[in-house]
Structure 1
Amino acid sequence: MIGGAGPADALPAAVALPAAVALPAAAALPAAAALPASGAHAALSASGTHAPLPASGAPVVTRAALAPSLVAGRGASVGFAEQEAESATTSGTVIGPDRSAYTLPAEASGRSAVRLTSGQYVEFTLPSAANAVTVRYSIPDAPTGGGITAPLNVTVDGGSRKTMTLTSQYAWLYNLYPFSNDPNAGVLHPDWWITECSCVPEATTPPYTVTTPFRPNHFYDEQRLLLGRTYRAGDKVRLTVPAGSPAAWTVIDLLDSELVAPPKVDLFAANALLFGADPTGRRDSADAIDRAIAFAKRTHLKVYLPPGTYQVNRHIIVDDVTIEGAGSWYTIVKGHQVDLATPAPDGSVHTGVGFYGKDASAGGSTNVHLSGFAIEGDVRERIDTDQVNGVGGAMSDSTIDGLYIHHTKVGMWFDGPMHDLRITGNIIADQIADGINFHTGVTDSVVSNNFIRNSGDDGLAMWSEKVEDARDTFDHNTVQTPVLANGIALYGGTDNTVSNNLVADPIREGSGIQLGSRFGAEAFTGHAWITSNTTVRAGTFELNWTIGLGAIWLYALERNIDADIEVVGDNFLDNTYNAIMLVSDFPVKDLYSITNVHFRDVRVDGTGTSVVSARSAGSASFQNVDARNVGAVGVNNCGSFHFTSAGSEFSLTDLGGNDGGGTTGPWLAPWELPNTITCDDRPPVVAPPAPSAWS
């Protein structure tokens, strides 16, 4: 969740929470054996929810690897059609499904992909007219890190061939936070507890050494290609690995196809070319864009960036200006990461391409409007003090629309206080850290209809560090495959809303949606509305605690969570472990609690373990929470681990209409109320069937 300095979403040096305890005899629950210590979440590796290959070879269009009907009305409305490689025609090998961290299938959309070697192909049938495609892929790293390049041939109906040059230079991280580009490095923090040895490595005799590469991750990248003409529905796009490719294998995850509109032309704007900008990308255009901005401000015009690639290797400072491109497929602002001779006052040791408002301490920027261009960064390592984000600073009364942001550290990171920002219709892909983060005092702002894929930390976050974020909304966004941490996270704040979003495939140490009292955040106050969202294949394995999380996770680490939390109308589908989790870390279990949480009109379709896991003092109410395909007992209630004769310190209030369950009976059984201890954190995991329509 880091854009400047600060903590990470990983949990170093965490104190392991207690293992499952024996249930009281009165609970009368079926016995549950603990999972093996190694690969405790591998039991779900056989569960897949992607659409199967039709016998006719007709195109299978999905959203987050699900039938679109299952997520109708939720997530971003995008201009492309998503097709999973495992549902296409191929001469290669389908890998997965698998949800085990540090594996290629686990980081793929739908937890499955197709592996190709020399001469093999995967072929997609276009579902509608298209003139452009995006390929999500992985190729190996170099033996000593740093990545390789390799070709991929693209043909349509056997016609003229285009060749994409794939790269792994922006993928393949290793080790513990903040990660390494070196696959041969030993453990970065020998004083941290790690699950591989269930120990602190430096405290062992002899010192424990890890097997390298240690915890490889962030395998995937994506690349866009204009096809040069419009093809019809039914035409076949074939991706082929040519003979002699330097990549031992090429994994194709998916293909997005779309019909891109012609470039936008604005004749009544300050054209950056007239101020010396170079659309070939050979010369640096930063100064020319600055000149165009200065002229546009004097003459009350917009700045127009025509089609082309513009080299920019530093921040463009924006205030009271509109900058528009010809469309994100045509206008590309691309830069190199630049080493700073001395660290900047904010701690940055690099700079790079980015559009930044003025710092909040200098009053911030206002009336900034950015639209219709791509930002291509050059960030290959995670350095949290670096300001190498696509968009940053403070911007009030501003809009950001229709950008494509790729290979920066964070797509958009805002350091407030600031207010009234509207972020709409953007695509953010392949980030080292977050997708979008509202950090410190961002108020009355909206993030809507954005698509975020393969962030290295939270996809969307509100972080109320020092000053609360208030009255902000994340609405109708899609977040897919965040490699670390959560799809959407709120860290404190007042009267914020998360609504109508689609979150799919968080990989490790996070959830689909998290509300966390952590990272020095201000308290939750007022309300938090979590309404009408859908998560799928969420509820991951927490490596430090060695337990499964929930698709939605409330975490009281540094304060009580006692604001009015309303979780209404959400769907939690194909949960790897739990659907709902409320937890306080063991060292603070007697300090903080979670109360005033209300779940209403919620549907849970499939859990590897429980519907609710409570590991905290506090309470929550449940009304019309329907569940099916529940893998274990409906409620895992450990409370705060004192196991008193009075029962758990966490109470569940049944307000009626809580139906369904699994093999153990109703998920919210009457005998569990209000606070029966039913504590088994590691029951056998039962892979649920693929989600289906709710009758």
Structure 2
Amino acid sequence: MTAAAVGIGLLSGGGTALAAPDGRSAGPVVTRAALDPALVAGRGARVAFAEQEAENAATNGAVIGPDRTAYTLPSEASGRTAVKLTPKQYVEFTLPGPADAITVRYSIPDAPGGGGITAPLDVTVNGKARKTMTLTSQYAWLYNQYPFSNDPGADLLHPDWWITECACVPAATTPAPVITKPFRPSHFYDEQRLRLGKTYRAGDKVRLTVPAGSKADWTVVDLLDSELVAAPHVRLVAANVVLFGADPLGRRDSADAFDRAIAHAKRKNLKVYIPPGTYQVNRHILVDDVTIEGAGNWHTVIKGRQITLDEPAPDGSVHTGVGFYGKDAADGGSRDVHLSGFAIEGDVRERIDTDQVNGVGGAMSDSTITGLHIRHTKVGLWFDGPMSNVRVTGNIVVDQIADALNFHTGVTDSVVSDNFVRNTGDDGLAMWSEKTANARNTFTRNTVQSPVLANGIAIYGGTDSTVSDNLVADPVREGSALHAGSRFGAEKFTGRLSFTDNTTVRAGTYELNWRIGLGAIWLYALDKDIDADVRVTGDHYLDSTYNAIMLVSDYAVKDLYAIEGVRFKDVRIDGTGTSAVSARVKGSASFENVDARGVGAVGVNNCGSFNFTPAGSEFALTDLGGNDGGRGTESWLAPWLLPNTITCDDRPPVVAPPAPSPW
């Protein structure tokens, strides 16, 4: 098989070129979430690029990791491993297929006092055609407790909160504990895209070299994505923003020109076209009943600075920035908005939850968002309903301070599919039914990688929600891959909640406050019972750091809320650091054809709600048959565990799970 054929096969979910024993000498190794693509065939976003991990490439640098401990560079890397370079060192990738563009995910140090630095990275192909990328850490490096600080020397933001590191509440502790600074550094990585200037062939060598004299003491390269960029999309009969005064060189603000083009398009029943170029836009563009097309997200870039408002807006915002916003739901919302084929690059460097500095926002019913590339905004797409029938497809959302996408309050009959998400500062994809329930929404065929905080995909209340055929990898802290939570004031779960045919890998993080490991999928009853029709079918949980499945409540409400009647069927568990199932709540679940292997501890860690009654655990597990495998010859759901035997080990020892392999 030729290298080109290998590359094409990988992009469609086929096989991969195998590495030599040193992992670096047998040609290109293309992965999906650092996995052999064969392990995730049919799941996750269908993308135009090939992903290659730096640790599989040729290098004279140092491989760092694997490490799943939060606040370390390897923990936030894809696959929990990367390559660290010092000046004059390189990492070299072999292209698996034709490519004329690359994306590099990297980290460089922060400035000593915060705020970031810039540093060069030289790019050559076959030793020629040198280009220099200017890397930056201005959009990385957060510190301290939520909502975090850009100052590495900051004192505790919440001295009245429990601190795991000292096992104390500092404000109530005498003498006051010494907290090491910088405290809890995180959000280390950023990424940049580069056009190579010509099309290179499979087998050509792309070398990334840190030049001598770089201001960065070290440069970590996590991965390289390579692709062949499609020709620019052209719309001749349209309201061309350049004709209304927009500057494709980005020298002056084009927001007013965009407004004029949109107004003209609506009067004349035309589409708005944004030709190739970089356009400076430093505020929201209001969209309603309009189609806006770019030439493609590699060709058309809408880039803005974050602007401090003279006084706070009514919604509490103290900044504005680039974004395409529908009207507020309270004003009727927008309809028939169609956005496609451009990039949105924001300038958000800190988390201020009241700020409306998202890439796409407001309410948009009967609308589509497709083919966008969004980075450096607070949230890529945040929708405040009520609204209905939005389709979010084929977008790339990276390097966010908070979520990639959130359906917030009364979003209904909408679909999020084939989106690629990497390096969010909060949930990757979320449905949050605050005040008004979301209903009949679907997240399907998405890839979420390396959410630094919280979960890959999270559902907070709502009715008839579906999460299917997604790939979620490498959550870092205080969350996991898949989550259903009665929390944050969400409306009750009703109808059916379906998790179907999803794959998670290296999931299940350490929860700081509880000081326990979470499950790759976890259900959490904090504010209300979870007693809807919850079905988990066909999921694969690979290489789970702690448990594969967790059902939990908070100790303060352990006797108030339950998780009842969850059904697990046709699930595969391939490697856990602790148990296959951890139950820390009252309620029940059933299991049918749930196969497990490489389970690190007792198959079921059943603590119930910690009352330890003579009748057994308050959480009942029902064996519907076909539940095979576990640790050694012992079935993970052994007969002696049923129906509700207490097998509670509050913090079982953690073992390293085996690497995933074909079942």
Q: State the TM-score bracket (shorter-chain normalisation).
A: over 0.9
* One-letter code aligned to 2:164: T
Q: Is structure 2 residue 324 aligned with structure 1 residue 355?
A: yes
In the other structure, the counterpart of 2:26 is 57
| Contact 1:70/1:693 (<8 A) preserved | yes
CA displacement at 1:652 relative to structure 2 = 0.1
Deviations along 1:98-152, whole A, 9 cap, x unmatched?
Answer: 0000000000000000000000000000000000000000000000000000000
In the other structure, the counterpart of 1:183 is 152
CA displacement at 1:275 relative to structure 2 = 0.1
Deviations along 1:550-598, whole A, 9 cap, x unmatched?
Answer: 0000000000000000000000000000000000000000100000200
| Contact 1:153/1:240 (<8 A) preserved | yes
Q: Is structure 2 residue 399 aligned with structure 1 residue 423?
A: no
| Contact 2:24/2:57 (<8 A) preserved | no
Alpha-carbon separation, structure 2, partners of 1:664 and 1:521:
43
In the other structure, the counterpart of 1:661 is 630
In the other structure, the counterpart of 1:121 is 90
| Contact 1:368/1:397 (<8 A) preserved | yes
Alpha-carbon separation, structure 2, partners of 1:452 and 1:51:
30
CA gap of 1:222–1:216, structure 2 versus 1, over 3 A, is same
| Contact 1:632/1:683 (<8 A) preserved | yes
CA displacement at 1:50 relative to structure 2 = 11
Alpha-carbon separation, structure 2, partners of 1:579 and 1:233:
38
Alpha-carbon separation, structure 2, partners of 1:179 and 1:65:
29
CA displacement at 1:684 relative to structure 2 = 1.4
Deviations along 1:307-339, whole A, 9 cap, x unmatched?
Answer: 001000000000000000000001000000000
| Contact 1:495/1:525 (<8 A) preserved | yes
| Contact 1:92/1:114 (<8 A) preserved | yes
In the other structure, the counterpart of 2:303 is 334
Alpha-carbon separation, structure 1, partners of 2:358 and 2:184:
25
| Contact 2:19/2:25 (<8 A) preserved | no
| Contact 1:613/1:636 (<8 A) preserved | yes
Alpha-carbon separation, structure 2, partners of 1:404 and 1:173:
23
Q: Is structure 2 residue 280 aligned with structure 1 residue 322?
A: no
CA displacement at 1:683 relative to structure 2 = 1.4
| Contact 2:143/2:152 (<8 A) preserved | yes
Q: Which has the higher contact order (CA 8 A, sep 6+)?
A: 1
Equivalences, count:
646
Alignment of 1:35-434 (within 5 A): 53-54=22-23, 56-434=25-403
CA displacement at 1:198 relative to structure 2 = 0.5
| Contact 1:57/1:88 (<8 A) preserved | no
| Contact 1:176/1:189 (<8 A) preserved | yes
Alpha-carbon separation, structure 1, partners of 2:318 and 2:633:
56
Unaligned runs of 5+ in 2: 1-17
Q: Is structure 2 residue 574 aligned with structure 1 residue 609?
A: no
Q: Is structure 2 residue 599 aligned with structure 1 residue 598?
A: no
CA displacement at 1:262 relative to structure 2 = 1.2
Q: Is structure 2 residue 593 aligned with structure 1 residue 624?
A: yes
CA displacement at 1:209 relative to structure 2 = 3.0
Q: Is structure 2 residue 445 aligned with structure 1 residue 476?
A: yes
| Contact 2:529/2:562 (<8 A) preserved | yes
CA gap of 1:664–1:338, structure 2 versus 1, over 3 A, is farther
Alpha-carbon separation, structure 2, partners of 1:672 and 1:475:
35
| Contact 1:331/1:372 (<8 A) preserved | yes
| Contact 1:121/1:240 (<8 A) preserved | yes
In the other structure, the counterpart of 1:453 is 422
Query: 4+ runs of 1 displaced by more than 6 Å?
Result: 49-52
| Contact 2:19/2:26 (<8 A) preserved | no
Deviations along 1:157-178, whole A, 9 cap, x unmatched?
Answer: 0111000000000000000000
| Contact 1:50/1:65 (<8 A) preserved | no
CA displacement at 1:663 relative to structure 2 = 3.6
In the other structure, the counterpart of 2:9 is none
Give the counterpart of 1:670 among 639, 643, 660: 639
CA displacement at 1:682 relative to structure 2 = 1.4
In the other structure, the counterpart of 1:540 is 509
Deviations along 1:381-427, whole A, 9 cap, x unmatched?
Answer: 00000000000000000000000000000000000000000000000
Alpha-carbon separation, structure 1, partners of 2:528 and 2:617:
20
In the other structure, the counterpart of 1:46 is none
Deviations along 1:476-495, whole A, 9 cap, x unmatched?
Answer: 00000000000000000000
Alpha-carbon separation, structure 2, partners of 1:266 and 1:495:
39
CA displacement at 1:265 relative to structure 2 = 1.0
* One-letter code aligned to 1:604: I
In the other structure, the counterpart of 2:5 is none
| Contact 2:19/2:29 (<8 A) preserved | no
Alpha-carbon separation, structure 2, partners of 1:189 and 1:219:
22
| Contact 1:74/1:500 (<8 A) preserved | yes
Alpha-carbon separation, structure 2, partners of 1:427 and 1:52:
34
Q: Is structure 2 residue 574 aligned with structure 1 residue 584?
A: no
* One-letter code aligned to 1:289: F
CA displacement at 1:664 relative to structure 2 = 7.2
Using structure 1 for the length normalisation, give the TM-score: 0.92
Alpha-carbon separation, structure 2, partners of 1:86 and 1:545:
33
Q: Is structure 2 residue 461 aligned with structure 1 residue 492?
A: yes
CA displacement at 1:56 relative to structure 2 = 3.6
Alpha-carbon separation, structure 1, partners of 2:406 and 2:359:
12
Give the counterpart of 1:554 among 523, 528, 532: 523
CA gap of 1:143–1:315, structure 2 versus 1, over 3 A, is same
CA displacement at 1:261 relative to structure 2 = 0.8
Unaligned runs of 5+ in 1: 1-48
| Contact 1:53/1:86 (<8 A) preserved | no
Q: Secondary structure at the match of 1:133?
A: strand
| Contact 2:24/2:58 (<8 A) preserved | no
| Contact 1:53/1:60 (<8 A) preserved | no
Q: Secondary structure at the match of 1:147?
A: coil
Q: Secondary structure at the match of 1:566?
A: strand
Deviations along 1:600-621, whole A, 9 cap, x unmatched?
Answer: 0000000000000000000000
Give the counterpart of 2:614 among 641, 645, 653: 645
Q: Secondary structure at the match of 2:594?
A: strand
Q: Secondary structure at the match of 2:571?
A: strand
Q: Secondary structure at the match of 1:561?
A: coil
| Contact 1:328/1:373 (<8 A) preserved | yes
CA displacement at 1:55 relative to structure 2 = 5.8
Indicate the larger mover: 636-645 or 202-211: 202-211
* One-letter code aligned to 2:135: L
Deviations along 1:606-663, whole A, 9 cap, x unmatched?
Answer: 0000000000000000000000000000000000000011000000000000000014
CA gap of 1:607–1:50, structure 2 versus 1, over 3 A, is farther
Q: Secondary structure at the match of 2:262?
A: helix
CA gap of 1:294–1:219, structure 2 versus 1, over 3 A, is same
* One-letter code aligned to 1:423: V
| Contact 1:51/1:87 (<8 A) preserved | no
Alpha-carbon separation, structure 1, partners of 2:613 and 2:140:
49
Alpha-carbon separation, structure 2, partners of 1:154 and 1:270:
38
In the other structure, the counterpart of 1:636 is 605
